[in-house]
Amino acid sequence: MLNVTPDSFSDGGHFMCVERAVDHARAMVAAGADVVDVGGASSRPAGRAYGKGAPKVPPDEELRRTLPVVRQLVGEGVAVSIDTTSAEVAEAALGAGARYLNDVSCGADDVLLRVAAKFGADYVLMHTRGDGAVAGQHIVYADVVSEVLSELQDGVARAQACGVARERIWLDPGIGFAKTPAQSLRLLAATAELSGLGQPVLVGPSRKAFIAATAPRPDGSIPGPGDRQPGTDAALAAAVLGGATAIRVHDVEASFQSLRVAAGIHAARAGVSA
């Protein structure tokens, strides 16, 4: 993922300059990334980990941040995903050649869904509730796995009703969005059940707060986002072993080896060549 924002939880402000963002994307591709997911508005949810969460970003500002980067990368032949809940931003990015639309709203906006359908984009439907806050009714589940799967299936139905082809729809369990750390772990453990719905699955646990909550340092202090790679590797391996088709990460180089080993184990378990 490539965050061209000043306030993303992990790398906010690092890649606000177009040249620096493009250089980082090139390094990601060289390290093994198949797709670069460009986002111009932080989606960090409200809750204990991130306080009030991310402020809303107007579409014109989101476009100013993302569109030059999308155009440059597409021009260099890079497969690009646009991470947005704005139909205006999605329209411009997909029109500029982005191939994927990453929607963290769980298909809440029919206009956005129709934009995905118009361009024939691969559409990533991420589970969340409301604004994703890790608080209140958003995190009340009788059974987090069955309810997330059911709500994702409802999202698939909405997307199809708006013209998105079923074979273009990816599912993302939304680790950390409207979920406690324990609920996020439960969903990671149930990746195979999500894969069993028949859609390709994308999982994005990289550097998230559930890792710090699950594995504080021995002295009780909480590792910051940049110190969560070992926990990220464990979560990535669990997702791949559960049948995830794709993984979204911050540090491609650091994650590549663990992903390849996990993929090899998954293939060996299935009795096929990696």
The catalytic residues are 208, 248
Q: Which residues have a Cβ under 8 Å from the Cβ of 222 and sit 6 or more positions away? A: 212, 213, 216
DSSP type of residue 15 = T
Residue whose C-alpha is closest to residue 207's, from 73, 24, 8 = 8
Residue whose C-alpha is closest to residue 142's, from 154, 130, 133, 151 = 151
Q: Which two tokens stand for residue 130?
A: 């409301």
Contact 226, 10 (CB under 8 A): yes
DSSP for 106-136?
SS--HHHHHHHHHHT-EEEEE---TT--SSG
* 230/232 Cα distance (integer angstroms): 5
